[in-house]
């Protein structure tokens, strides 16, 4: 049963609700539209606002649920170690709070790692799975661009990160610089990211990064049975497109789509193409019984 079955969710416009108390924290969330539930999970340091372009496109077809992951935005920021599994449990807890038994789940970057964990640990809760510019967690922290390594204080030949000494303003500057191909987005988002990090004292960012570094799904991807769309940009400078190839190759019911020229944030910069691919997949316009690796049409 989805949220739409409740009388308090009759409106198709955005519904700002009190925070949901789930898994020991208060989670800020929003619900948009009506239909089958579609849960959107943001990546490292990203809040629910990052799905602006997707909400506009998806709310006419689905009941879109967005939220801030623990450590970010208006959700609680506990000062304790985070794990991807904990954040997956947060998401399931939110679904329980909203009365959603089963949903389509879409996650980008770190959110894609959370989505993988949900599909592995809670297979009965996932209708279809969309994994966006993400990885299994294997070695991504050491393979990332030189600019990111410098921002995180990773020396040549080292695989260890002392998170206590990381300047997260510099990290976010590097991430935004690498994530977007379009200068306009970098100019708009850099000042916003600085304010957000300073206001949260970087605690949530540090714990989220620790969760990413300590996680891996590589040896468990075969457990994912939900029809899956793996989609990435060919010019992603943060997470290698090869990571999506690995994921799609390990999931028996997966389709791989590479968007030519797409950046790590191509779901914003190339939102028209991205939104169409996702909607086609969710609506069943693809043959999900056959694994298909496809270059852009």
Q: With left for phi above 0 and alpha for psi between -120 and 50, is residue 130 left, alpha or beta?
A: beta
Q: Where are the domains of the chain?
A: 3-138+215-294
pLDDT tens for each residue of 185-242: 666 666 666 665 555 555 687 888 889 887 999 999 999 999 999 999 999 989 999 9
| pLDDT value of residue 5 | 37
CA atoms lying within 13 Å on the CB side of residue 67: 34
Listing DSSP states for 47-81 in one string gives -GGGGHHHHHHHTTTSEEEEEPPTTSTTS---SS-
Strand 292-294 and strand 103-108: pairing?
Answer: unpaired
| pLDDT value of residue 292 | 38
pLDDT tens for each residue of 86-96: 999 999 999 99
3-138+215-294 topology per CATH: Rossmann fold (3.40.50)
- Cα 251-255-260 angle, rounded to 5 deg: 125
pLDDT tens for each residue of 42-62: 998 888 999 999 999 999 999
Give the distance, in angstroms, between the CA of residue 166 and the centroid of all CA atoms in the same chain.
23
Helix (H, G, I), strand (E, B) or coil at 125: helix
| pLDDT value of residue 16 | 57
Phi, psi of 130 (to 5 degrees): -125, 120
For residue 170, pLDDT beyond 60: yes
- CB–CB of 4/59 below 8 Å? no
Q: Based on C-alpha coordinates, what's the Rg of the chain?
A: 18
- Cα 277-282-284 angle, rounded to 5 deg: 95
Q: Which residue has the higher pLDDT, 140 or 17?
A: 17
**Residue whose token pair is 């198709």:** 12
Helix (H, G, I), strand (E, B) or coil at 245: helix
The arithmetic mean of pLDDT across residues 2-22, rounded, is: 57
pLDDT tens for each residue of 33-44: 999 999 999 998
- CB–CB of 265/167 below 8 Å? no
Q: Which residue has the higher pLDDT, 72 or 161?
A: 72
The arithmetic mean of pLDDT across residues 66-84, rounded, is: 93
Q: What is the pTM of this model?
A: 0.83
The arithmetic mean of pLDDT across residues 58-70, rounded, is: 97
pLDDT band at 79 (very low <50, low <70, confident <90, very high): confident
pLDDT band at 294 (very low <50, low <70, confident <90, very high): very low
Q: Which residue has the higher pLDDT, 289 or 76?
A: 76
Q: Percentage of the chain surpassing pLDDT 70?
A: 73
């Amino acid at each position: 049963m989805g949220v739409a079955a409740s009388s308090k969710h009759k409106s198709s416009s955005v519904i700002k609700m009190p925070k949901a108390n789930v898994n020991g924290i208060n989670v800020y969330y929003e619900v948009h539209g009506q239909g089958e539930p579609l849960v959107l999970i943001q990546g490292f340091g990203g809040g629910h606002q990052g799905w602006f372009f997707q909400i506009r496109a998806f709310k006419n077809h689905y009941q879109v649920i967005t939220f801030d992951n623990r450590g970010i935005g208006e959700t609680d920021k506990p000062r304790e170690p985070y794990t991807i599994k904990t954040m997956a449990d947060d998401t399931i807890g939110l679904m329980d709070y909203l009365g959603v038994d089963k949903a389509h789940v879409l996650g980008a970057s770190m959110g894609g790692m959370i989505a993988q964990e949900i599909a592995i640990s809670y297979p009965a809760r996932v209708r279809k799975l969309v994994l966006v510019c993400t990885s299994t967690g294997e070695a991504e922290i050491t393979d990332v661009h030189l600019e990111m390594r410098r921002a995180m204080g990773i020396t040549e030949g080292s695989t260890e990160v002392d998170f206590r000494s990381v300047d997260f303003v510099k990290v976010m500057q590097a991430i935004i610089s690498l994530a977007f191909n379009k200068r306009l987005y970098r100019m708009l988002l850099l000042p916003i990211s600085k304010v957000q990090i300073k206001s949260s004292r970087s605690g949530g960012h540090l714990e989220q990064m620790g969760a990413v570094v300590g996680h891996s799904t590589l040896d468990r991807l075969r457990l994912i049975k939900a029809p899956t769309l793996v989609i990435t940009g060919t010019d992603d400078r943060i997470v290698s497109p090869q990571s999506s190839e690995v994921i799609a190759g390990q999931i028996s019911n997966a389709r791989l789509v590479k968007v030519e020229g797409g950046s790590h944030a191509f779901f914003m910069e190339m939102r028209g193409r991205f939104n169409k691919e996702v909607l086609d997949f969710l609506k069943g316009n693809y043959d999900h019984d056959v694994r298909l690796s496809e270059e852009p049409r």
